[in-house]
Chain A
Amino acid sequence: MIRFTHVTKEYPRTGLALNDASFFINKGEFVFLTGPSGAGKSTILKLVYMEERPTSGDVKVANHHASIMKRREVSIFRRKLGVVFQDFRLLEDRTVEQNIAFALEVTGVPYAGISSKVSRLLTQVGLGSKANSFPRELSGGEQQRVAIARALANDPFVLIADEPTGNLDDRATRGIFQLLRDINAGGTAVLMATHNLDLVKRSDLRVIEVNRGQVVFDSGEAAAVAARAAEG
C-alpha cells in the first residue's frame, strides 16, 4: 500500500534528509516511525502525503507513483488520506463542527450529508458535546481529537500522524493513542511518527526506526515482505 524503493530526498538548502530508504507498509497496518529529531521522520511522512517528491527512488502510495503524479492530482489524492500534526492545525476562528465540516466542504461533499457525518465523527473521537466550542476552549488532547476527526472526514485508507502526542501530557497521550488504535482496528492504516519510546515499547506494533536519513531498524520487515508476497 505504501512502498518506498531506494528513496533519497535532498533539500536544496539543508542537504540530504533521506538516504536510500526502502520499506513497505501493508493495508491496515499500524506502524511507528521513530528516531531522533532531524532523522528524516517528517520527510518520510511528507513524501507519503506528497508534499515532497523524492530526489531519486520511487514512492508509491495506493497505486499512485510520486514520480508521475501531477500537481493537480495531489489534491484529489490527499482526500484519500488523513494527516494530523503535533500542533493540531485547527482554524481558530471556527467551531469544532465547522473545522471538521470544512474538510468535507472543500472536497465538494454535498451539503445535505455533511452535518450528520460531522456528528458521527465527533462521537467517534469522543467529543459529541463539543461541537460548538472553539479550539481555544478545548484542552490539547481534545484539540488533537478534533484534528483526528477532521483527518477521518473523507474516510482515508491511511492516517498519517506526525508527533500527534508531542504537545500532550501522559493521560492525553494515552487517550489519543487508544483512539488511533481504535481507528486502526476499524481497518484504517496508521503511520505515526513519534519520540515517545514508552508508547512504542508498551505496544507490540511494528516499528521503523530512522537515523540520519536511513532506515536503521524495521521490526516488521519480514512480515511485510511475506504479506506483500502473499498479496502478489
Chain B
Amino acid sequence: MRLTMRESFLAFTRAPLLSALSILTIAFSLFAFGLFGLVALNVGKALRDVEERVEIRAFVIDGTSTETIATALGDIAAFPEVARAAQVTPEDALQKARKELGEFQDVFDAAVLPASIDVRLKDGYRDPKTVKAIADRIQSFPFVDEVRYGEEWVAKLNTIRNIATAAGIALGIAFAAVAVIIIGATIRMAVLARAREISIMKMVGATDGFIRRPFLIEGLVKGLIGGAIALLLTYMAASVISTYMIRTSFFSWQMAVAGAAFGGLIGFFGSALSVGRHLRRI
C-alpha cells in the first residue's frame, strides 16, 4: 500500500504538466456539464414557479350557504391531487380584482362578483389531463356554477415543460458523454505516457493488480480535484450571473458533492478501463 501511494504521488511529481493538464481537462469538461446543469436547474425552477400558478376556480351559485361551501371545501381539500382549496367570497373577489386591475377600479364598484372556490394542485398533478379530471369532479358538486382553469394555458405550459425535459435529458446525456470521452482520452494519454514503465513492471514480474492500483488512485484524485475545480468555476459563474444578470439558484450541497464525486468516479473507472485495456494488449 505504501508503495502504491508513493507511485501514485510520484506520477504527479514526475509529470506535473501532464497531470495539471489532465486535471484542467477534467475540470473544464465537468464545468461545461455543470453550466448545463445550472441552466437546467434554473429553467426547471422557473417552470415550476409558473406551474404553481395552475389553479382551478369553481364559481359557486349565488345563495349557496356558507356551510355547504365549507363542507365541499373539506371534501375537495381531501382529494389526493389537491394542495389546498380556499374559499373566495364576493368581497375578496372584488378586492382582488381591484388590486390586479387597478385602472378599472370604478367599473367594479357596483358589480357583484360571484363567490368561488380556488383550488391549487400538488406538484406532478398539473398536466392537462389531471387538471381536467379534477375540474370535472368539482363541476359535479350541485352548487358549482362553472369551473375555469385556463385549459389552453395549462396545455401550452405542459408542452413547454415536455420540450424542456426532453431537451434537458438529451443535452444532459450529450454533455455527460462529451465529458466522459474527453476525460477518457486524457487518462489514456497518461497511461500511454507511462507505457514503458508498465512494460518494465510486467517484465520484472509485477501483477496486473499491482500495476493498476497507482493508476486508479491517480485517476480518482485527478477526477476529484477536477470535479472540485469545476464546482468552484460553476459557483463563480452562477454568482456572476446572479449579480449582473438574473437571479439564479445554485445546486444544493448534496448535488454539488455528487457532482465532484462524479468527477472522481469518472477518473477512477476511466483509469481502470484504460489501464485494463493496455494491460490486456501487452
Contacts and interface: CB of A to CB of B under 8 A. Distances in A.
Interface of A: 49, 71-72, 75-79, 83, 89-91, 93, 102-103, 105-107, 150, 153-154
A154 B205 CA distance: 10
Helix, strand, loop or mixed for chain B's interface? helix
Contacts of A107: 204-206
Interface in B3-22: 3, 14
Interface string B162-201: 0000000000000000000000000000000000110111
A150 B14 CA distance: 22
Contacts of B199: 89
A38 B201 CA distance: 26
Contact of A75 (B14, B196, B197, B207): B207
B216 to A, nearest CB: 16
B200 A75 contact: no
A149 to B, nearest CB: 12
B210 A89 contact: no
A153 B203 CA distance: 12
Nearest to B194: A91
A89 B206 contact: no
A86 to B, nearest CB: 14
Contacts of A105: 3
Contacts of A102: 200-201, 204
24 contacts: A71-B208, A72-B208, A75-B206, A75-B207, A75-B208, A76-B205, A77-B205, A78-B202, A78-B203, A78-B204, A78-B205, A79-B204, A79-B205, A83-B203, A89-B199, A89-B200, A90-B200, A91-B197, A102-B200, A102-B201, A106-B201, A106-B210, A150-B204, A154-B205
B204 A106 contact: yes
Nearest to A49: B203
Nearest to B210: A106
A94 to B, nearest CB: 9
Contacts of B204: 78-79, 102-103, 106-107, 150, 153-154
Nearest to A75: B207
Given A89-B196, A91-B197, A91-B200, A106 B205 contact: yes
Best-surrounded residue of B196, B201, B206 (most CB of chain A within 10 A)? B206
Given A76-B207, A106-B3, A154-B205, 8 more contacts: A75-B208, A76-B205, A79-B204, A90-B200, A91-B200, A103-B205, A106-B210, A107-B204
Nearest to A111: B2
A101 to B, nearest CB: 10
A106 B201 CA distance: 7
Nearest to B6: A105
Most buried by A among B203, B206, B207: B203
A77 B203 CA distance: 10
Interface in B208-225: 208, 210
Contacts of B210: 106
Contacts of A75: 202, 205-208
B205 A93 contact: no
A131 to B, nearest CB: 18
B242 to A, nearest CB: 47
Contacts of A150: 204
A71 B280 CA distance: 10
A107 B201 CA distance: 9
Nearest to B279: A71
Nearest to B2: A111
Contact of B206 (A93, A106, A153): A106
B100 to A, nearest CB: 75
A93 B14 contact: yes
